[in-house]
A = this chain, B = another copy of it.
C-alpha cells in the first residue's frame, strides 16, 4: 500500500470524491436548517416550561428513521446512531437555552 499524491488519483476516484463533496455540502446545509428548527423548538419549550428531551417523540423518530434507512439502503443501526448523535447536540442546545431563559 502507498499514500496517494494529487497526480496519482485514479479518475474514477476523483469522480466519486466530487459526488461525495456535493453530498456533503447538501448535508451541511440540511443540518444547518435542522438546527434552526430545533433552536426554535428549544425557545418554545423554554418559554412554556417543557422538558428539553421527549423520550416518546424520540422513540417515534428512531422507528421512522430505521424504516426510511431500510428503504433507502442505509444500515438502520447507523441511522439510529446518527439520530442519537444529532439529538445529543440538540439537547445540549436546549439545555443552554433553558439555562439562559428567565424563570
Contact = CB atoms under 8 A, between A and B. Distances in A.
Interface of A: 1-4, 10, 12-13, 16-17, 19-21, 23-38, 40-41, 44-45, 48-51, 54, 56-57, 61, 64-65, 68-69, 72-75, 78-79, 82-83, 85, 89
Given A1-B51, A37-B16, A50-B4, A28 B72 contact: yes
B83 A44 contact: no
Given A48-B10, A56-B4, A30 B30 contact: yes
A29 B73 CA distance: 8
A68 B25 contact: yes
15 contacts: A1-B49, A2-B51, A3-B56, A4-B50, A4-B54, A16-B41, A16-B44, A20-B41, A21-B61, A24-B64, A27-B27, A28-B68, A32-B69, A32-B73, A85-B85
